Amino acid sequence: MTDALLTVEDLTISFPSDNGPVPVVKSISLTVAREIVAVVGESGSGKSLTGRAIMGLLPCRAHVRASRMLFEGIDLQTLGPAGWNGLRGSGMGLILQDPKFSLNPAHRVGRQVEEALLLHTKLSARERKQRALDMLARVGLPDPERVYASYPAALSGGMGQRVMIAAMLINRPMLIIADEPTSALDRGLQDQVLTLLRSLTEEFGMGLLLISHDLQQVSRYADRVIVMRQGEIVERLPASELAQAQTAYTRGLWAARPSFATYGTRLPVFEDSGRPS
Ligand SMILES: Nc1ncnc2c1ncn2[C@@H]1O[C@H](COP(=O)(O)OP(=O)(O)OP(=O)(O)O)[C@@H](O)[C@H]1O
Ligand SMILES: [Mg+2]
């Protein structure tokens, strides 16, 4: 697709070991335009590390090399800490799995939703509050004034995830990386949150890199799919064709649909036959 917001070429991530560096992401290339690109693959295939590398959030032990990592013309490999801070609050956002770990329990919701505006804009306190209340309403939270004044402990999981999305989108980033954004929620809430993410992505003209275990869900919400295995991209296909995937590996992932009951348990890793081990 043309007009890529993000271009990654030949990205390799390795960790040191006694026997030298061990690559866990191996020379992968991808682009994201104003669309939803899903990254799927078995546990340990390198999905989260890929997302974190794009956000500059890898553990410091990790060694990253790429022939290109461009976001809106910015060379991500040359950014220093100040450059990253500027970009993360305004150009790119990360949504993680569980609001319990992403929201600070000691601060009211309003302050956390406004944080990107405080750090990256010159809006007045009154303007920030108005933007936060608008965004809380926009993500479907009833009674935004009450949510704004609440502490995270007062929110259900689904409400917490909507607050996280509001906090990420308030400064209108161009690219969102969502790492399993709904796997801590029950099935009905998952669909609501993904429907919301999909419509906001379209409305704001954003790109979304959606990391997920759930291929059947991805087939309904994404535009394109990248399939990873052992640090490599093994298949690329339109989301609408996932059900007819040709490789045994992707078919195995399609059949191994995670459920709320398996949340928190280890998902199958596939043998070379493509069958769960
Ligand atoms: N800090 C680290 N040090 C060494 N190896 C790591 C580290 N973090 C991740 N790895 C290894 O890198 C590989 C890819 O990890 P990653 O978290 O990207 O997988 P994933 O595809 O997101 O898996 P999951 O579906 O379970 O979230 C794994 O084999 C993991 O063991
Ligand atoms: Mg992961």
Summarize pLDDT for 18-71 with one digit per residue, the tens: 999 999 999 999 999 999 999 999 999 999 999 999 999 999 999 999 999 999
Taking the C-alpha atoms of residue 242 and residue 212, their distance in angstroms, rounded to an integer, is: 14
Gap from CA of 9 to ligand 1 centroid (Å): 20
> What is the predicted pLDDT for the residue at 275?
53
Angle at 137 between CA 32 and CA 87, to 5 degrees: 35
Taking the C-alpha atoms of residue 112 and residue 162, their distance in angstroms, rounded to an integer, is: 13
Q: What tens digit of pLDDT does each residue of 217-244 get? A: 999 999 999 999 999 999 999 999 999 9
List the alpha helices (DSSP H) in the chain. 47-54, 81-90, 99-102, 109-120, 125-138, 144-149, 157-169, 187-204, 215-221, 248-255
The number of distinct structural domains making up the chain is: 2
238 falls within a domain: yes
Name which of 204, 176, 189, 172 is nearest 95 in CA terms: 176
149 lies in the same domain as 205: no
End of a domain among 136, 152, 172? Answer: 172
45 falls within a domain: yes
73 lies in the same domain as 182: yes
Taking the C-alpha atoms of residue 228 and residue 255, their distance in angstroms, rounded to an integer, is: 16
16 falls within a domain: yes
Q: What tens digit of pLDDT does each residue of 180-209 get? A: 988 888 888 888 889 989 999 999 999 999
Domain containing 144 equals 101-172
Q: What tens digit of pLDDT does each residue of 67-117 get? A: 999 999 999 999 998 999 889 878 999 888 776 778 899 999 999 999 999
Closest residue by CA, ligand 1 atom 12: 24
54 lies in the same domain as 181: yes
What residue type is assigned to position 100 of the chain?
Answer: K
125 lies in the same domain as 184: no
> What is the predicted pLDDT for the residue at 188?
83
21 lies in the same domain as 158: no
Taking the C-alpha atoms of residue 80 and residue 235, their distance in angstroms, rounded to an integer, is: 33
37 lies in the same domain as 163: no
Q: Please report, rounded to a whole number, the percentage of residues in the chain having pLDDT higher than 70.
A: 91
96 falls within a domain: no
Q: Which two tokens stand for residue 165?
A: 């999305």
32 falls within a domain: yes
82 lies in the same domain as 136: no
Closest residue by CA, ligand 1 atom 3: 15
152 lies in the same domain as 267: no
Gap from CA of 179 to ligand 2 centroid (Å): 7
35 falls within a domain: yes
Ligand 1 pocket list (CB less than 6 A): 15, 24, 41, 43-49, 59, 213
Average pLDDT score over residue span 131-153: 94
Ligand 1: which atom is nearest the Cα of residue 50?
A: 18
Q: What ligand is nearest to the CA atom of residue 57?
A: 1
Q: 66: burial class by Cβ within 10 Å (0-12, 13-18, 19+)?
A: buried
41 lies in the same domain as 55: yes
147 lies in the same domain as 247: no
Gap from CA of 191 to ligand 1 centroid (Å): 26
154 lies in the same domain as 180: no
> What is the predicted pLDDT for the residue at 266?
56
Ligand 1: which atom is nearest the Cα of residue 231?
A: 14
Neighbours of ion ligand 2 (CB under 5 A): 48
168 lies in the same domain as 189: no
End of a domain among 144, 172, 200? Answer: 172
End of a domain among 134, 153, 172? Answer: 172
pTM equals 0.89
Q: Give the list of residues 6+ apart from residue 194 with CB closer than 8 angstroms, or none.
A: 181, 182, 217, 220, 221
> What is the predicted pLDDT for the residue at 157?
86
Q: What ligand is nearest to the CA atom of residue 22?
A: 1
Q: 19: burial class by Cβ within 10 Å (0-12, 13-18, 19+)?
A: exposed
Closest residue by CA, ligand 1 atom 26: 43
